[in-house]
Amino acid sequence: MNTKTILPVVALAGLALATGSANAAIMATDVIVVDLGKTGQLTTSTAIANWNNVARDNPGSNVFTNPDVIISDAIRYSDGGATGVTMTSAGTSGIGGLVITSAGAAASFTSTGVIPDSAQIDVSFASSSASAFTFANLNSSLTYNLEIMSLVDSGTARNANDITVNGTTISIDPNDSPGIYAFNDISVNGSNEIVISFGTNSGAANAQHINALELTAVSEPSSELELTGFTYDPSTGASEVNIKGSPGTRYELVEDSDLDFSTPDQNPVPLTGVTLGTQDGNGVITDSFGNATVQFNLGTANDATFIRAESAP
């Protein structure tokens, strides 16, 4: 039986074979932005690109059922493609009746920039009860940056309250402008979810306000060079591997005959394609998160091949 193994020199972790998936899945660098608000104030302009709107035409009451799948398949900001991510409301909340005008250009998300007026102007709402929003069907191999805009105008007094995201709690006051709160490098829980929880507010001065949300998928922080997700087709020799290294860095794959089971060696291994990162001759330049996915052909003659990635500026 003709089999090949891949043995990265730099790191041995994570050599599971890629299984592939026909379903939409969130990928590193994907960004999901959500406008919680009113029908008639959607964020849909083509100049603004691909927002997810959760809009209700009955503001001021608890219009979300419990639970309520308010987004069934979130689209990514870059191209409107499906991510498979869902967003569910739990507890007692809905869409508020307030009109918010005070933040303007000061309210900005890290990945997508200034938040459009149509997203700033309206808010989700919980009076005094506990409530939560859950992003589900996330990729557990990634971490996530979550930014929440929670702002009402200063003339509309609201009490501070706590937001907890997967175990991290911060106190916010919706009267503080521009009202952007960040939770960075969040790992998913055991159910591949990120849960945003708001506590009760005994002051009955509104327990939850969210104007808009931004969820950005990032790679796991890594200071080492890794090869992961190797696949090989023994009938054709077609192969693929993921490189995780430093952002914007050029790497080549090197096949070596040092251990006598790879003949002849190829330096660098010719690339037949690049599906993540930018191909540069027979090298690849990683994306802004340090990731690249490359295709190449190892042939069908050898029983094993020894390959490593090398930085090759």
Closer of 87 and 253 to Ca ion (Cβ): 87
Closer of 37 and 277 to Ca ion (Cβ): 37
- Interacting residue with Ca ion among 68, 153, 162, 173 (CB under 5 A): 173
175 contributes a contact to Ca ion by CB under 5 A: yes
| Separation of alpha carbons 64 and 88, rounded Å | 9
CA 218 and chain centroid, separation: 6
The letter for the amino acid at 129 is: S
Compute how many residues bind Ca ion; rule: CB under 5 A: 11
Residue with the closest Cβ to Ca ion? 37
Closer of 122 and 214 to Ca ion (Cβ): 122
**Is there a contact between 181 and 212 (Cβ–Cβ < 8 Å)?**
no
Which range binds Ca ion by CB under 5 A, 67-75, 110-118, 127-135, 287-295?
110-118
Tokens for 216, please give them: 């950005």
Closer of 73 and 173 to Ca ion (Cβ): 173
Q: How far is the CB of 206 from Ca ion (least distance, A)?
A: 10
* 113 to 142: interface string for Ca ion, x by CB under 5 A: -----xx--x--------------------
| Separation of alpha carbons 207 and 128, rounded Å | 5
147 contributes a contact to Ca ion by CB under 5 A: no
93 contributes a contact to Ca ion by CB under 5 A: no
193 contributes a contact to Ca ion by CB under 5 A: no
Count of helix runs (H) and strand runs (E) in the chain = 1, 24
| Separation of alpha carbons 39 and 54, rounded Å | 8
**Is there a contact between 208 and 93 (Cβ–Cβ < 8 Å)?**
yes
- Interacting residue with Ca ion among 6, 26, 35, 219 (CB under 5 A): 35
150 contributes a contact to Ca ion by CB under 5 A: no
Q: Which residues are 310's β-sheet partners?
A: 252
Cis check for the bond before 270: say yes or no (omega within 30 of 0): no
| Separation of alpha carbons 259 and 305, rounded Å | 9
Q: Which residues bind Ca ion (CB under 5 A)?
A: 35-37, 41, 118-119, 122, 158, 173, 175, 211
